[in-house]
Amino acid sequence: MEANGFLHHFVSPGGIGAVFNSLTLEITTNLHSPSPFDPETILESCRSFCSSPSVTMATFFVTGDCPRKCGYCFVPGTLGTLTTAEVDHGLEMLSDLAPGKADILIYGGEPLLKPEIVLRIIRGSGDDRNLCLATGGWGVSREVAGALAERNGFVIVSIDGAKGVHNELRPLSGGDSFQSAVRTFHAFRDAGCRVGISLTVTRGNAGRVREDFGYLMETLKPDDMGINAWMHPRPGLSSNPFEARWEDVFDAVTGCLSDALSAGMYVEQLFRRLRPLVTRAPRLRDCPSRGGRLVFVPGGGVSPCDCMAAAGVNTVLDRQGIQKLLSDFSTLVPVFREGCLSCPCVALCGGGCLYDALACTGCLTGVREERCSYERALLKWMVGTILDNQLLDRKPGVLSIGEMTAFLPDGILEKARMPQPEAMLGGEMTCLQRAGSN
């Protein structure tokens, strides 16, 4: 990709030339006359959108306890367990700061170790909240599964591959970790929940992720597949020793995305990039931690970031403190960074993970170069895929949204496919929002 300000010249693997506008996400095959635009006006709208924090998600760290010993896990076992009073206080704060729709993620550790706390969150959350529970696979009562099903809850079960791979990466002392995860998957599905799978890419399994992704997709037929492509450092470390090279992550991710599109499978972490690109809705916040997230941890702490909350960083005890953090974190996005403005991913990457940047560089405004290289390579792959699905005899001009989505399976972009729709879509700025800001 050759850059010229916000315009980037691109030639696809199939030989089709195009100009990509990194602010408007417009793609045109009219190489000599791309659409005119006013960068300053667009940047002003983008910055206004980002600097108005709106809570779209809350995470409840039910407990740090977990029966598995996954080497790559960033959650310390010393985190403790939420009390009922802390749950009630968190739900009250969420109601005050997000009176409209918002997603709730029930997280751990292993939250199913504390079913009474899980039930309290479900029953106290209110009918307008989307509920999502993340588990590594543990025995679940009919009461918990039924309560989530009644709320159309989404369950994410972590399964890192076929039995041998999964048991090596996610060992369960005295038990079969893979069978435990599969039993949990079926228990929630039989109860009527939507159930997805989360698969983690590590240094050890990167070379076979695509194979395991296909195996899990075919055998379990989940409602969603998630790929954790980047590993959060453990508290006190600058990097995660299990993390794969970005080039290997890229190969694994694009291979899985190709197979998912062929099978009509939704993959949230990957569609965070593809969806805004093909709909031309800039993704200005990737993680809701940039002004849109409340994280509640044992001990009464509140943070805008789940990783920082687990590590005890940027965690406060009062509403005034969290409101200031939400405001401060809302501007930690690429459109506020001079060094990011010439990058083709400025309106797509959302800035990556704040915790990872903090661990790697020592500051919240730091940048992980490996992550930047990956994002640029992924954008190049996506634009190439879009262009190579166009008619060869089409007249030069701007690609319509219909043309850019024509190669996608019908219904793949529907909101109902997303485990946490309010949180994810809350970071995307639509054309209507742009027009209203100008």
Decide if pLDDT at 299 tops 90.
yes
Return the closest-CA partner of residue 358 out of 304, 296, 415, 438: 304
In tens, the pLDDT along 58-105 reads 999 999 999 999 999 988 888 999 999 999 999 999 999 998 889 999
List, in sequence order, every residue forming a beta bridge with 8; answer none if it has no partner: 3, 20
Domain that holds residue 198: 1-427
The confidence score (pLDDT) of residue 433 equals 67
Region at 94 (left for phi over 0; alpha for psi -120 to 50; beta for the rest):
alpha
For residues 297-306, average pLDDT: 95
Stated pTM of the model: 0.93
Does residue 437 sit within a domain?
Answer: no
Contact 154, 103 (CB under 8 A): no
Do the domain assignments include residue 105?
yes
Instruction: Measure the CA–CA gap between 235 and 357, rounded to whole angstroms.
Output: 13
Contact (CB, 8 A) for 195 and 185: yes
CB atoms within 10 A of CB 282: 28
User: For residue 221, is pLDDT > 60?
Assistant: yes
Give the CATH number, domain containing residue 101: 3.20.20.70
Q: pLDDT (tens digit, 9 = 90+) per residue, 133-190? A: 999 999 999 999 999 999 999 999 999 999 999 999 999 988 999 999 999 999 999 9
Q: In this structure, is residue 435 part of a structural domain?
A: no
Instruction: Give Cβ neighbours of residue 414 (< 8 Å, ≥ 6 apart).
Output: none
Angle, to 10 degrees, between the axis of helix 246-263 and the axis of helix 209-220?
A: 30
Structural domains counted in the chain: 1
Instruction: Copy the structure tokens of residue 380.
Output: 């190049």
Spell out the residues 6+ positions from residue 157 whose beta carbon is closer than 8 angstroms to its own: 135, 136, 137, 181, 184, 185, 188, 195, 196, 197, 198
One-letter-per-residue 3-state SS of 57-124: EEEEEEECCCCECCCCCCCCCCCCECCHHHHHHHHHHHHHHCCCCEEEEEEECCHHHCHHHHHHHHHH
Read off the pLDDT of each residue in 110-115 and give the average, rounded to a whole number: 98
Residue 224 lies in a domain: yes
Q: Within a domain: residue 155?
A: yes
Any domain includes 27: yes
Residue 274 forms part of a structural domain: yes
Please state the rounded mean pLDDT for residues 107-136: 96
> Average pLDDT of 21-40?
94
- pLDDT, position 438: 42
pLDDT for 392 beyond 90: no
